[in-house]
Structures are given as C-alpha cells and as structure tokens.
Structure 1
Amino acid sequence: MKRSQFLTLTAAAAALPLLASCSDGTSGKPMSTSSTVDGDIEARPISWLLSRPANGAVIEVMTQIADEYAQKHPGFSLSLITTPDRPSYLQKYVTLAAAGKLPELFDTDATPFAQKLADQGHMIDVEDLLTSLDVLEDFRPAALDYQRFSDGALHMIPLEFGLEVFWYNTELFDAAGANVPETLEDMPQLCETLAVSGVTPIALDGQDAWPLERYLAFYPFRVAGEDYIAGLKEGRASFSNEPGRLSAQWMHDLGQAGAFQAGFSSVGYADAQGLFTSGRAAMYNIGTWELPALATTELPEPMRDNIDYFTLPVTKDSVTGPDEYVASSGIGVAVNAATYDPLVRDFLKYALERYPELYARSGILGPTTVKPVIPDTALPIYERAIAQAEELGDATLMPWDTQLDPTTNTRLQQELVLLVQGDKSVEEFLSTMDATLTSNTQQA
C-alpha cells in the first residue's frame, strides 16, 4: 500500500468512532442487527461493494443468481461496485463507512475496523440470518469460523473456502537430495540445500505483501496457537514475546538461506506462480483455489508428473497439530443494517439456496459441504487436495493481515521485507514492531 493511500485509510478509520450509534436515519432510533424484518418485498436495485476477480467464480455465480432473481422480481438488480485493487478498495470502504454510505452488501475481513462497525450496530447478525434461513448447518465450520471476530460473533457470509498448502516439485527435490520437511525448523536447511542445487527454493508473490506475512504467522501458530495473534491485536502481547521472537529469527534464517527468489518484493502473483510451474522454483505456498492451474492438464507438461504438496509442518514443541493450518474462506460479505429490508433478506435467501450448487460447478472447494465437480482435466492430485478438507482439525491459522490494525500491518509488511533481505537485524525488527504496535494499541 502506498503511503498516501495508507494515510487516507487511517484518517477514515479514525473518523469512524464519531459514529457512536447506528440509527435508521429518520427516527434516530438504534437499528436492530437481527435478521428478522417485517413488510412486503418491494423490488428495487441494491448494491454490493467488493474487490474480487471479475472472472472469478464468486462474481460469475452471484451475477447469475441476481439475474435469475430479477426475472422473478421485476425492478430488482444487483449493482457491483468494484475497485481495481485491494488498497483502493479498503480506502473506499472505510470512507463510505465513516460517511454512513455503505451499500446493502459490502466485503470485509474480520479486522479491528470491521469489529468496530459491528459493535456500533452497522452489520446484520449473520449467524442469526443463516440460522433463520435454515442454512447454517450447510456451511463448513471452518469457513464460518474464519469470518468470526475474536469474541465469536459472526457478521460476514463466507462465499469461498480454500486450504493453503506447500506445492512442491518432486523432481527438483530428488535432484537436490532434499526431503519434505518434518518441522518448520527443517525449512532453512531445506532451502539452503535447494538453493545450492541451482533452483529457487520458494516462489513468492512479494508484491502483494500478504504472502510473506503469511510465513511470519506460521511459527507463532505452531508454538502458541491462535491466542498469540489475538493478544497482539488486543495489546496484551508483543512481537518480542517468545512466539514473535522465534518467528522473526526463523524469517531471518530463511532469508539467509536464500529461500525466496532475487527481488522477491517486486514479483507479482502471476510471475511467482509461473516461476513454480515452469520448474524454476521448488516450492510454492498457495491455496486450493489455484487447483485448476496446478492440478489439471493446464499445468505445463513437464510438471504434471512432478507436482505434489505437503501441509504446514509442525515445530518440535508444537501446540497445534499437522491437520491445523490456514483454511481460509476469504473476504466475507457483510449486510448493512441501515438498508436491510424484506427484499434484501429474500434475495439472500434465494442466493444462499442456489449458491452452493452453482459454485460447486467451478470445480473448487466452496464454503458449504456441497462437493465440487472435479473437471475431466484433473490430475490425480486434484481430488486428493479436495479430500484434504475433510481432515481439518479444529484450530485455524488466522492470517495476520486480517487481524492487525492498518497502521501496524502496513509497517509490519515493510519491515518484514527488510528483515528477510538482511537489511535489519532480528532485534531491530522486533523493537520497531513493538513500538508501532504499542502506539497504535494506545490510540485504539
């Protein structure tokens, strides 16, 4: 995120506390976040603020559903308010929120900012909504849990679901005499072994920042579980506590081992994936949403017989199990309490009845238990990766970029690059991040 964008985002977020209560705009009475609403269904246009791939399954399916609903309810339409990139989306999101002009539906992660919106009554209670529509049990528990705030409240509807695993090139591993790591402690030496063999150990999309930040979250999740990141965002833990210190040292060691490609911080999503699928990198950490590119005949022919995956390794003193790692349901959809009416409820009822089956046709894991349709072009590993979802444990690694406040998160992403590049020591990294965290926790 550029500095100017960051300042705008922070300023808008700072303005939000002025919205001390949530009212209907006419009576001044606080609005209910209950999903119960009385009245006739009167068709009208509604809008959805989002930042998702235009050619992705979510938008394609929801557009189809909206068109179907409009045929039965003349006058209805679903307008998609899209933005070109995530930083721009966040800027628009918090600006509209501060002005009280969010549309009927809007995308959000379970961030501290979203928690503030929910606490002020700006979001419908999604657990209540899904229960009243009799679809709560259709959703994967892990998909719902990913959307929950730290207090367990659910205010976002998941529309996606994916497991994040380490894809690896078996041929490059064999040529280097390397083995799949049993623990995270094994990773730096593994990367050094692969680097000596002449390949890039790990392909990384450094341009988007979150993939590198994901690595920082791995070690604390193994040694301290879910509580550590919750402690950071609530100001009761610090980066220099043992989980954070161990993680910073591990990231430093990965950098010293040459784990990522040269110039990784400027390499984008497609180029990072291409580095792996072309056989120039030995590993690539990404979710099952990329199965069509990584586990079908779309994969370059030399890779088809040489691709496999492993899940997040444990640590020697791990408190989470090998079946517990990142299982993300992506950005969720919140329902604006100020514009919630019988039409919005009825459209969501129709959408949530149709969505599971239509989304399953995309061939990728979805947020419900409806099994995806495996494409005819799938490699054997495709179905194995899909089946992996049935073996998930109870704990889920929550990505830090969805948990920390915007200021701390942006600084963390910047400092992490310097740590991995060797431009900052572990102590300098920890000191800088603790000062940033303390400052922003006090301002919250």
Structure 2
Amino acid sequence: MFQPSRRFTLLAAAATAAIILTGCGSTSPAADPTDVDPDGEVVPREISWLLSRPADGGVITTMQQIADEYAKDHPGFALNLITTPDRPSYIQKYETLAAANKLPELFDTDATPFAQKLAKQGRMVDVDLLLEDLGLADDYRPAALNYQRFDDGSLYMVPFEFQLEFFWYNKALFEQAGATVPATLDDFPQMCTDLRTAGVTPIALDGQDQWPLERYMAYYPFRMAGPEYVQDLKNGDASFADPAGRAAAEWLHSLGEAGCFSPGFSATGYADAQAQFTSGAAAVYNIGTWELSNLATEALDPAVRDSVDYFTLPTIDNAVTADNEYVTPSGIGMAVNAKTYDPLVRDFLAFALERYPELYASSGALSPTSSATTTIPDNATPLYGRAVEQTNNVGEAIAMPWDTQLDPATNTRLQQELTLLVQGEITPDEFIQTMDKTLAENSDG
C-alpha cells in the first residue's frame, strides 16, 4: 500500500504529464492512426511493450510464447516486455513517457481521459479499423471491446482478457444465519444484519487497495441511471448530489451501519480478504473470474469447497439496466503507438492476435474472443464450468469500474471518503459535499 505522501507525489507527476501532453500535442510527429495497413517491407527488429500486468500472468506468458514463435520465422525480431505490475508506478511511467513522446510501439492503458487525449492527438492506432483489416473484429466479444471504448464509442485498445465479477457466497453460512441471497441492492443491509447476528463476517473486503470498495459505489448508479452517469460525472455534467449519486452514498452508509464489512477493513489486504472467504470466516466475497483457480477448483479448502456459489449484481426497483448487465471487464487494454506503427508491427499483431485466443483459453482463462473455448482444468469443481458458461449470457451495458473513469485526483479523494463514509465517520451529506467540491476542482467539464 502506498503512503499518502507517495500517492500525492504520483498524482502530481500525472498532473504535470497531462499539462505537458496538452502543450506538446501540436509538435508530435505526424502519423495517421487510420492507416492500419502501411506500405513497405517487414523488417524484423526489437519492438517494446510497456505493460502493467503480473510478470508471471497468463497474458504475458502467452504473448511471450507467441513472440518466440514469430521470431523463429523472423530472425532479428524480439518482443521486449517492460513490466511494471504496480499500477500507480506504471501510470507515472506511462504518462511521463507520453508527455516526452517516448512511448514504445505497444503500451497498456485504460480508457481514461488521459488516453483519450492521446487518441485525439492521433497518437494511437484506430483498433476498430485494425481488427476489421485483420479480419478479427467479429471474433471478439462485444462486451470485451465495449469495455475498452471511450465515451464516444471509439476503440483504441485491444483487450487480452475477459472477466465476470460475481458475489461469491458460502451457502452453509447463509443457511446457518437464516440469510437469503439479496434480490435487490436494498436487501444487502438485512443480509449483513442476519449474518452478523449469527457471528459471521458478512462481506470480505480488500479495503487496503481501495478499488474494491469503489466497486460498491458504482453499483447503485449503474442500476439507477446506467453507465452514462459516471461518464457525465467525470465530464462535469452530473454531480454526486444527483439522485443516483445520493442513492449510492446512502446505500454505502447503510452497509456500514449494518456491519457488512469487518472492523478495520481498511487495513485488510487482497490476500487476507480472500483468506477470510476461503476459510469460511466471511460469507460473501465480491471478486472476478480471474480467481476461478482459487474459488472453483480442488485448491479450495475442502471444508468450504462444496458450499461456495455465486450470484450476479442484484438489481433495484425500476432499474434501467438488465439483470445480466454488471461488471464485465476485459482488463487493461493494449494501445498501438501510431508514430512507430509500421509493416513489422502490423505483421506481428496479425500473427499474435490470431494465435492468442486459443493459447490463452487453453490455460483455463476466459478469452476476449468467442472463437476460443476455455479449457476447464481437471481439478475444477462444477462451479468453474458454470462461471465459464455465464459468459454466454452477458448484456451489452457494462458497470465500468470508476477508478478507470475518474481523473486521478478525484478518484483518490473518492476512495478516501468512501472509507470514512462506510466507517460512519462522515454522513452521506458530508460525503456528497466534499466529492462535488473535488469534482468541480478537477473536472475538465
């Protein structure tokens, strides 16, 4: 966990990079982001990919294998992986390199306002056109591509993952407490009260990393106003005082009052939160299918293995989004630098994106395409297959994680205030007042 002083240093660096980026846009070398099939010979060389992914994760492992295969037929080619798994440090590096016009051929980015500035300056290849030109566009799951799109619908990032985020729960603990799976978000406080009364921690939460609690902030507005609310919020066209924002603040406050999270949750890390659930100490755990190997295989503690199930994001009365629409991320995307895009980069991407889905899915992961079938591990429980099958019933609207949408300063303040709100140290009105002031100070709208 970063200390506050370190976090603010990173924010200041990001803000400085954004200012420089705005100023240097007109001096950037000309490039045509729509020229996805440039003329010329494929001349092998080393190309680089600036990444923010686990070094031993499935994406990097698969892409390294593909690069090695490509290099056998293209002597002199190499894929240099510049890996910075720590996200705040990565953002600092990425935005600093962007400001200096020194981004490599490939680089990771979310669909943030900063990335959209790069795209508008013609510094990222149009991925919609690229995938169409490669004949791969129809292979991708619409939800996987939509997660990478900017608010205007444009696409400049390639997805390498596809995930579904569920509420995993322990059926035995629910039965013991007489608790029921919430039909609506408004049923959460009663569920927590029932579990807490039975001596069970209702929800395991990684409060230390802060983004898991921020997911909860996104839920009520998504059901009440759709994905447009956070888009309007970041553009200064909506406020936290609007009905959707107020409903979210009051709902989060009610979760705190019902004791949904363990005391001291803000100091609980990722591994500890997961251990609370997998050991049977907590009844609910909100996490994505990237944890299938820990939650739906024989690696799970036998004492809880047969009791684990999941439910998707509950709805609300008069919801504007469908039951099968919830958080379905395709991870951080890969952008292609328009300045360095040439026949080699295109040829490698054509080879890699064709080869990737099958290799990645063979590891038991969910492919961003529907063209590859996930290999269910031999040690999987029936829940694994059910979760994979769930990918065939996902709606179009996505509950976007707010940490990928808001500017860094607003996002950091939101995460801090959410902890105080749930702990009961501030009221919903105080939360709204603080966040609307922060939003006004940092919005581009």
TM-score w.r.t. structure 2 length? 0.97
CA distance in 2, matches of 1:367, 1:153: 18
In structure 2, the partner of 1:11 is 16
CA distance in 2, matches of 1:60, 1:322: 35
Contact 1:22/1:121 (8 A) holds in 2: no
How far residue 178 of structure 1 moved from its aligned partner, in angstroms, is: 0.3
Which deviates more, 325-334 or 261-270?
A: 261-270
In structure 1, the partner of 2:185 is 184
CA distance in 2, matches of 1:339, 1:434: 41
> Relative to 1, partners in 2 of residues 1:207 and 1:33: Cα closer, same or farther, differing over 3 Å?
farther
Contact 1:229/1:400 (8 A) holds in 2: yes
How far residue 269 of structure 1 moved from its aligned partner, in angstroms, is: 1.3
CA distance in 2, matches of 1:216, 1:113: 22
In structure 2, the partner of 1:338 is 339
What is the CA RMSD across the aligned residues, in angstroms? Answer: 1.1
CA distance in 2, matches of 1:337, 1:441: 28
SS state at 2:107 partner: strand
CA distance in 1, matches of 2:56, 2:283: 29
In structure 1, the partner of 2:426 is 424
In structure 2, the partner of 1:273 is 274
In structure 2, the partner of 1:20 is 25
> Relative to 1, partners in 2 of residues 1:30 and 1:39: Cα closer, same or farther, differing over 3 Å?
closer
Which deviates more, 329-338 or 359-368?
A: 359-368
CA distance in 2, matches of 1:140, 1:361: 18
1:182-237, Cα deviation, whole Å (9 max, x unpaired): 00000011111111111111111112111110000000000111111111011110
How far residue 68 of structure 1 moved from its aligned partner, in angstroms, is: 0.7
The equivalent position to 2:414 in structure 1, one of 412, 432, 439, is 412
CA distance in 1, matches of 2:368, 2:190: 37
In structure 1, the partner of 2:216 is 215
CA distance in 2, matches of 1:252, 1:371: 42
CA distance in 2, matches of 1:140, 1:22: 37
In structure 2, the partner of 1:381 is 383
1:379-404, Cα deviation, whole Å (9 max, x unpaired): 01111111111011121111111111
Is there any run of 5+ residues in structure 1 with no aligned partner, and where?
A: none
Contact 1:22/1:120 (8 A) holds in 2: no
The equivalent position to 1:393 in structure 2, one of 368, 382, 395, is 395
CA distance in 1, matches of 2:288, 2:390: 12
Letter in 2 for 1:4: T
Contact 2:169/2:310 (8 A) holds in 1: yes
How far residue 351 of structure 1 moved from its aligned partner, in angstroms, is: 0.2
Contact 1:33/1:122 (8 A) holds in 2: no
Letter in 1 for 2:278: T
CA distance in 2, matches of 1:312, 1:366: 22
Letter in 2 for 1:18: G
How far residue 36 of structure 1 moved from its aligned partner, in angstroms, is: 2.2
Letter in 2 for 1:358: L
CA distance in 2, matches of 1:153, 1:21: 21
SS state at 1:146 partner: helix
Letter in 1 for 2:299: E
Is there any run of 5+ residues in structure 2 with no aligned partner, and where?
A: none
Q: How many aligned positions are there?
A: 439
Q: How do residues 48-197 of structure 1 correspond to structure 2 at under 5 angstroms?
A: 48-197=49-198
Contact 1:123/1:337 (8 A) holds in 2: yes
TM-score w.r.t. structure 1 length? 0.97
CA distance in 2, matches of 1:320, 1:340: 39
Contact 2:55/2:85 (8 A) holds in 1: no
CA distance in 1, matches of 2:327, 2:122: 29
CA distance in 1, matches of 2:33, 2:331: 27
Contact 2:127/2:157 (8 A) holds in 1: yes
CA distance in 2, matches of 1:368, 1:392: 13
SS state at 1:347 partner: helix
Contact 2:49/2:106 (8 A) holds in 1: yes
